[in-house]
């Protein structure tokens, strides 16, 4: 029994020393994903972000982090018809795939190792879904188009707190998107907020 317990402790310690961390990241946006540019239309960003994360730990306090973050935004248009008001909503799902190179500071002693500030920078790739008919619905023709893919530059920083076998990492992250999702006719109706912030909390092993 003692040998079995010892083997379990050794196996757990070995697993903690692995260079790969897995977990989940959640949080909230610090602004709206999109913005209406004209009256009669509105957007609402749901105040949650959630998704899995993977961290590859490298020497010298470096790490590479890859996330898959899901969020959602609602669009609505208010139309007048026969003296009445009709609200026509439609939604989009947003998936962001940021890849960051991180630098963690401290770690030379036990106190520093338990709370390590870090900074990171990299690229983020976003994919929208659920906007198949947005162009024809608003414009009545095919002149409105949506670019469902976008690429941005991302920077962030936070503190990694090690508690037993779990790492907790509150973080603030900012992304600047390179292009607008809405083109042609829709560019006069909606626009992408290119500078976007997020508060994130990572829980990982």
Domain ranges of the chain: 19-204
Give pairs for 65-69: CB < 8 Å, separation 24+: 65/98, 65/99, 65/100, 65/102, 65/120, 66/97, 66/98, 66/99, 67/25, 67/96, 67/97, 67/98, 68/95, 68/96, 68/97, 69/25, 69/95, 69/96, 69/97, 69/98
Q: What confidence score (pLDDT) does residue 76 get?
A: 73
Q: So what's the pLDDT on residue 138?
A: 56
8 Å CB contact between 29 and 43: no
Cα–Cα distance for residue pair 82/90, rounded to 1 Å: 22
Residue-wise pLDDT for 22-44, tens only, equals 999 999 999 999 888 877 777 88
Is 151 within 8 Å of 178 (Cβ atoms)?
yes
Q: Which regions in the chain score pLDDT beneath 50?
A: 1-17, 80-86, 140-141
- What pLDDT is attached to residue 37? 80
Q: 19-204 has which CATH code?
A: 2.40.160.20
- pLDDT of res. 170: 98
pTM listed for this prediction: 0.81
């Amino acid at each position: 029994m003692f040998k079995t317990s010892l083997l379990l402790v050794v196996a757990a310690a070995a697993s903690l020393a692995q260079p790969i961390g897995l977990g989940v990241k959640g949080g909230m946006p610090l602004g709206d994903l999109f913005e209406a540019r004209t009256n009669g239309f509105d957007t609402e960003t749901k105040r949650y972000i959630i998704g899995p994360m993977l961290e590859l730990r490298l020497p010298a306090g470096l790490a590479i982090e890859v996330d898959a973050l899901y969020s959602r935004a609602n669009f609505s248009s208010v139309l007048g018809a026969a003296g009445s008001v009709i609200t026509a909503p439609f939604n989009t799902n947003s998936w962001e795939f940021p890849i960051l190179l991180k630098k963690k500071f401290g770690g030379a002693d036990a106190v520093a190792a338990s709370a390590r500030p870090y900074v990171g920078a990299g690229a983020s790739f976003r994919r929208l879904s659920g906007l198949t008919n947005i162009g024809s619905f608003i414009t009545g023709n095919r002149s409105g188009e949506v670019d469902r893919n976008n690429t941005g530059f991302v920077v962030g920083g936070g503190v990694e707190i090690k508690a037993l076998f779990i790492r907790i990492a509150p973080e603030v992250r900012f992304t600047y998107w390179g292009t607008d999702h809405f083109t042609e006719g829709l560019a006069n109706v909606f626009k992408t907020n290119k500078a976007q912030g997020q508060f994130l909390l990572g829980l990982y092993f």
